[in-house]
Amino acid sequence: MALPYGLPQRCLQAVAACWLISYVLSFVTGGCSLVLFSYLAVVALPAVAIYSFMNVDPGTKAVLVTGCDSGFGHALALHLHDLGFVVFAGCLMKDKGADSVKQLDDAGKNTGRLITVQMNVTSDAEVAAAVETVRANLPPSIKGLWAVVNNAGFSTFGEMEWVPINVYEMVASINLFGLIRVTKGFLPLIREAQGRVVNVASMLGRTGAYGRSPYCATKFGVEAVSDCLRMEMKKFNVDVAVIEPGNFIAGTSLYNADVVKAQSKKMWDGMTDEIRNAYGQEYFDQKTELMLSYTTAGVSDISPVVNAMTDAVIRVNPRCRYQPMALYELFKISVATHLPEYVYDAMFL
């Protein structure tokens, strides 16, 4: 049997907490810190292990995942279905007959537990229709909706002066307001099940990055909305978890060379002569090449993200934040969030 997601990290955190508490108690009482640490660890480590193995029964739960046309959402929908959940897969391209949607439909034919739903998260009408589709197709034995995984997203790049305001609005309409729209629509069903909302943010919701302000702004917003919602939902026993993936561009369809080139051309053509002259073609082309290099960078295996999402859905007591990312990326956001800006700038710019 595979170890639960994050068990080693939880154990290390428990050990660190036991050491800190034993040190403080030994200082106050004059007792032996090693003895105190041993007593605390004997209690804490088994408790952490038991907690980590406490899962819900997938056969009694239904889940909605948005952005299932490709990437994380597509893989998660199939994985949750394999675990036994009833899965509603929100797909932007269902009405276009996309091959990826047909793959999901085929996977659910024999079980009836994987149902694709047309969903453009920027459309009030489509989200409202999706809510009614879920209500109509929930098995009688399942009460409410156990989880909504807000995975749908879009990204672009460019320095602030290069990116038209309507592009900022478009990215926000999907990544932030689309997430809010879906969450608001399904919260009554989530409250009924006392389930959870799982929001996909990014490491770029914790630290900015060159040329990514349209994307970063929305992911910082997702972090803030999620924190507020977590506080608001406690009275209903509803959990809110945030997934903060690192760089998995190579394993998703978020970016590819054709998309970067098309976005780059559209940006350059849309600039005023003053902005073009200020930055210059050579500098602009260098930054486009930098973004092109990102399309094959990072981790191609998206299973760490899918496993984190799964843990947030299946765990009785999910974590507030999951950070499936490389150690370098974890170190980078730790520096960004805990040290002065000049330290971050000196190390990473």
| Active-site residue set | 215
Supply φ then ψ for residue 195, to 5 degrees.
-95, -135
The two three-digit tokens of residue 172, written as one number: 């926000």
**33-52 helix and 7-29 helix, angle to the nearest 10 degrees:** 150
Tokens found for residue 15: 């050990």
Closest CA to 283 of 345, 212, 342, 211: 211
Let me know: does 98 contact 105? Beta carbons within 8 Å. no
Helix (H, G, I), strand (E, B) or coil at 238: coil
Rounded-to-integer distance, Cα 314 and Cα 110, Å: 23
Instruction: Tell me the sheet residues that pair with 142.
Output: none
Q: Are 241 and 136 in contact (CB under 8 A)?
A: no
- For tokens 């919602």, the residue is 229
- H/E element, 203: none
> In the numeric block, which tokens belong to residue 338?
């805990």
**DSSP codes of every residue in 35-66:** HHHHHHHHHHHHHHHHHHT-B--GGG-EEEES
Q: How far apart are CA 135 and CA 29, in angstroms?
A: 59
Q: Classify 172 as helix, strand or coil.
A: helix
List % helix, strand, coil for the chain (3-state, nearest 5): 60, 10, 30
In angstroms, rounded to a whole number, what is the distance separating the alpha carbons of residues 2 and 177?
37
Angle of helix 177-193 relative to helix 165-175, nearest 10 degrees, comes to 10
CA distance 21 to 234: 28
Query: How many other CB atoms are found less than 10 A from the CB of residue 112?
Result: 10
